[in-house]
């Protein structure tokens, strides 16, 4: 019954979309009845999609295996929490969640923009409904989460065990709030461009939607990174996995867009940048959806492998891109008449950093898409990993960090460097600290010293702004300080990390000059939906301090998969990270022990960045 209600709710929601489009077109010139009818229709559309989504959740909770989606991704022994999160832990459910957030955002947009012109709201609604209709058709035609199975199976196939994790359970909804927020930015920008409505007032209004999308996308990426760190057993927070990249690219575009919006709000310039970045952000979000949902990318994150689904999204995406290009070329009227940027001004620094961000985005885009196109053209498979990104990004990261350190201290239009003493002092201190750190470690001495110096320089500069200026421009100071802490923590983590990989039997000991690892014992437990083998390891360092780590092997009953669960001991300075795996047909266990400095600061720095955005969002000076 729940599946039936869910399916017909989708049909009703699609019908409401068509009705809303009809009223939007009919009332485009005379919008006197806009608020009375269309907002109500939009609410009912959101209501029916919510009903459909909760119908799917109810089917998962009740283990209704007559529903094909539930059968493929659930099991009676799964804990309730993972039954619920399994709703969006698959292709069909995740697309239904996309649609739910799409309808929620357009409803909230109409409620929050009553001061805007009715033509602008109407046209934004029309463009957004085109996107919503596309997702309705995609769900109903190719990816229905309510397909019926007969005869009804007694048991389901279960959810991928690595997806049965609290962080990953809340990661997709938060990430989708960021993705779908870009659709509102896309629709409103095209509407404003068509109506020649791009102005300082519009910039102030759309800035909040950019911030909302950026905050959720930042938190979504953070949760995904934390999950990958402790669940996949690789011991790192970022691996340049293609699906990680497709979430990072719209984040880079959104960050650049936000800074362009700030300039537009102050001086009514860079309108072309704003339009192109708004289109690019949404296109990259949709491109990520296409790559993940089509199964083209080979990743633990991918959900589907159906060419028909990928083809539909690809055609739909190209249709939206061509619509965007048409509106930009034929309706955009630039008011920028020979605006000259003084070389030392806030505008110039933002523009320079924007070019750096676009360069980083381009490198990631090429690294993600090139292997796909190469395989299509030549059937040759290659993988693009960290060496590619490091060699192309790191040299340009150095001037980017220096410009970011100086830029916030400049004024609009025309400026002069203030506090030159501190700028020089911070540079000298940064170089000296970096020199003494790198001197004691192997590696590329010159490039690492310069890179670490630029990171320390940004850190000292943003720390001074954060401490001295207090609550003046708190959101910017906090976000920039968080970013400097993030870059510095990543670099120090990379320099100081150590790893030991060895094979041990129970009772054996590994010993090196600095550490001794004793494999003391193992024990077994039976949990509701898996059996677990727990290893016990005593780690003794040079100071004879002993630490006990207990990594696990989990054997899931449905599907029958063995996963490795890391044990991590965290303090303010370092993480002690250990995993173990069975060596096939032997009595040995493969042991991986890592010392990962400053990991906690990587997570905290991203939270500071997000919190800076939240403060800016609720700053009364930014209210429309």
- Output the pLDDT for position 534: 93
* Nearest partner of 559 among 75, 46, 62, judged by Cα: 75
Nearest to 296 by CA among 313, 279, 321: 313
Least confident of 232-246, 411-425, 591-605: 411-425
253-301 pLDDT, tens per residue? 999 999 999 999 888 888 899 999 999 999 998 887 767 655 555 544 4
State the Cα angle at 264 between 259 and 269, rounded to 5°. 115
DSSP classification of residue 412: S
Q: What is the pLDDT of residues 555-608, one digit of tens each?
A: 887 777 888 889 999 999 999 999 999 887 778 899 999 999 999 999 999 999
Q: What letter would DSSP give residue 148?
A: B
pTM above 0.95, yes or no: no
Give the residue-averaged pLDDT of 220-248. 84
Averaged pLDDT of the chain: 86
pLDDT surpasses 80 at 482: yes
In the chain, % of residues over pLDDT 70: 90
Q: Flag whether pLDDT at 624 surpasses 50.
A: no
Distance CA(276)–CA(336), nearest Å, equals: 15
390's tokens: 């490091």
C-alpha dihedral (132, 9, 302, 174), degrees to nearest 10:
70
Q: CA 523 to CA 520: how far, in whole Å?
A: 11
Say what the pLDDT of residue 557 is.
78
Report the range out of 19-23, 26-30, 160-164, 379-383 with the highest average pLDDT.
Answer: 19-23
Residue-level pLDDT at 302: 45
Scored b (16 or more CB within 10 A) or e, 327-350 reads bbeeebeeeeeeeebeeebbbbbb
Strands (E), 383-434: none
- Domain range summary for the chain, segments of one domain joined by +: 1-159, 498-599
When pLDDT is cut at 50, 70 and 90, the band that residue 419 belongs to is low
267, HSE (Cβ side, Cα atoms, 13 Å): 19
pLDDT at 418 over 60: yes
Specify the pairing of strand 498-504 against strand 567-570. Answer: unpaired
622 has pLDDT over 60: no
Asked if the model's pLDDT at residue 79 lies above 90, the reply is no
- The 8 Å CB, 24+ separation contacts for 26-33 are 27/122, 28/119, 28/122, 28/123, 28/126, 29/119, 31/118, 31/119, 31/121, 31/122
pLDDT value at position 35?
63
pLDDT confidence band for 429 (50 / 70 / 90): very high
Residue located via tokens 């959720």: 216
């Amino acid at each position: 019954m729940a599946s039936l209600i869910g399916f017909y709710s989708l049909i009703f929601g699609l019908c409401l979309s068509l009705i809303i489009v009809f009223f939007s077109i009919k009332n485009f010139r005379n919008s006197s009845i806009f608020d009375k009818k269309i907002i109500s229709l939009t609410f009912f559309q959101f209501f029916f999609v919510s009903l459909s989504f909760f119908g799917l959740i109810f089917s998962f909770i009740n283990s209704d295996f007559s529903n094909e989606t539930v059968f493929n991704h659930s099991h009676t022994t799964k804990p309730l929490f993972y039954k619920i999160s399994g709703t969006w832990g698959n292709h069909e459910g995740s697309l239904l969640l996309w649609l739910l957030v799409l309808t929620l955002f357009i409803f909230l947009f109409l409620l929050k923009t009553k001061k805007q012109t009715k033509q602008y709201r109407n046209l934004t609604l029309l463009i957004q409904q085109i996107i919503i209709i596309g997702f309705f058709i995609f769900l109903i035609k190719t990816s229905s989460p309510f397909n019926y199975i007969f005869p009804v199976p007694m048991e389901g196939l279960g959810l991928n065990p690595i997806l049965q994790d609290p962080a990953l359970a809340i990661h997709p909804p938060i990430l989708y709030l960021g993705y779908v927020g870009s659709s509102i930015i896309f629709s409103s920008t095209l509407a404003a461009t068509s109506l020649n409505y791009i102005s300082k007032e519009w910039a102030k209004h759309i800035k909040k939607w950019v911030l909302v999308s950026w905050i959720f996308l930042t938190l979504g990426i953070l949760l995904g990174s934390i999950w990958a760190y402790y669940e996949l057993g690789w011991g790192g927070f970022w691996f340049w996995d293609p699906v990680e990249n497709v979430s990072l690219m719209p984040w880079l575009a959104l960050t650049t867009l936000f800074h362009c919006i700030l300039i537009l709000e102050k001086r009514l310039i860079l309108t072309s940048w704003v339009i192109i970045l708004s289109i690019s952000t949404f296109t990259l979000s949709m491109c990520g959806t296409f790559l993940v949902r089509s199964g083209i990318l080979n990743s633990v994150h991918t959900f589907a492998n159906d060419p028909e689904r990928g083809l539909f999204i690809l055609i739909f995406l190209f249709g939206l891109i061509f619509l965007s290009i048409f509106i930009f070329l034929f309706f955009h009227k630039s008011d920028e008449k020979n605006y000259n940027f003084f070389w030392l001004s806030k505008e110039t620094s933002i523009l320079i950093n924007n070019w750096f961000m676009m360069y980083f985005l381009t490198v990631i885009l090429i690294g993600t898409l090139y292997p796909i196109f190469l395989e299509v053209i030549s059937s040759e498979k290659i993988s693009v990993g960290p060496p590619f990104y490091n060699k192309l990004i790191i040299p340009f990261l150095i001037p980017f960090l220096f410009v970011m350190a100086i830029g916030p201290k400049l004024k609009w239009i025309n400026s002069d460097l203030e506090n030159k003493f501190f700028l020089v002092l911070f540079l000298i201190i940064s170089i000296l600290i970096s020199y003494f750190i790198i001197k004691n470690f192997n590696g590329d001495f010159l490039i690492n010293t310069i890179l670490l110096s630029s990171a320390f320089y940004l850190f000292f500069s943003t720390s001074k702004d954060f401490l001295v200026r207090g609550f003046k421009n708190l959101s910017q100071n906090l976000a920039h300080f968080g970013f400097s802490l993030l870059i510095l923590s990543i670099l120090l983590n990379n320099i100081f990390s150590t790893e030991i990989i060895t094979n041990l039997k129970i009772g054996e000991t590994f010993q090196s000059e600095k550490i001794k690892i004793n494999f003391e014992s193992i024990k077994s437990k039976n949990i509701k939906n898996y059996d677990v083998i727990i290893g016990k390891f005593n780690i003794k360092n040079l100071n004879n301090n002993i630490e006990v780590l207990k990594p696990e092997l989990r054997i899931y009953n449905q599907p029958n998969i063995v996963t490795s669960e890391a044990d991590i001991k965290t303090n303010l300075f370092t993480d002690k990270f250990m995993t173990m795996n069975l060596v096939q047909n032997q009595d040995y266990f493969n042991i991986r022990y890592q010392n990962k400095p400053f990991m906690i600061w990587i997570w905290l720095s991203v939270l500071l960045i997000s919190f800076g955005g939240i403060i800016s969002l609720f700053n009364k000076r930014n209210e429309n």
